[in-house]
């Protein structure tokens, strides 16, 4: 998503003569929004890759207690199963280990 937002911002800036008339007075709002949204979405992706299901479970429990937020109806609780051997493994390390196993 971050890369898509960055691409849209670059297109808006590079093709300003074409894009600005289509967006009208909203042009700079879109450009500013994309410039702000891009690093935010990339930061969320990096955060996700660096956390483990155990950390995610702790956050979900904290949000339920402190923010009265519950996971959505499509949430799969099996993702946070403490019996999973990869429960404490950060997502990025899990993917790298899986890739090594698949290519061995």
pLDDT, position 14: 92
pLDDT, position 76: 84
Mean pLDDT, residues 16-32 taken together: 90
Q: What is the pLDDT of residues 35-85, one digit of tens each?
A: 899 899 989 999 999 999 899 888 888 988 999 888 888 888 887 888 988
Which residues fall within 8 angstroms of residue 90, CB to CB, at 6 or more apart? Answer: 49, 50, 51, 52
Q: How many Cα atoms occupy the beta-carbon half-sphere of 42 within 13 Å?
A: 12
Mean pLDDT (the chain) is 88
């Amino acid at each position: 998503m971050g890369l898509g937002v960055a691409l849209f911002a670059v297109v808006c800036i590079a093709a300003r003569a074409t894009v600005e008339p289509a967006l009208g007075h909203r042009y700079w709002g879109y450009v500013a929004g994309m410039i702000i949204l891009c690093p935010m979405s990339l930061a969320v992706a990096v955060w996700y890759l660096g956390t483990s299901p155990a950390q995610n479970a702790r956050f979900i429990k904290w949000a339920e207690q402190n923010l009265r937020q519950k996971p959505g109806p499509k949430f799969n609780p099996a993702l946070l199963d403490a019996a999973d051997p990869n429960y404490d493994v950060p997502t990025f390390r899990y993917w790298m280990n899986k890739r090594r196993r698949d290519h061995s």
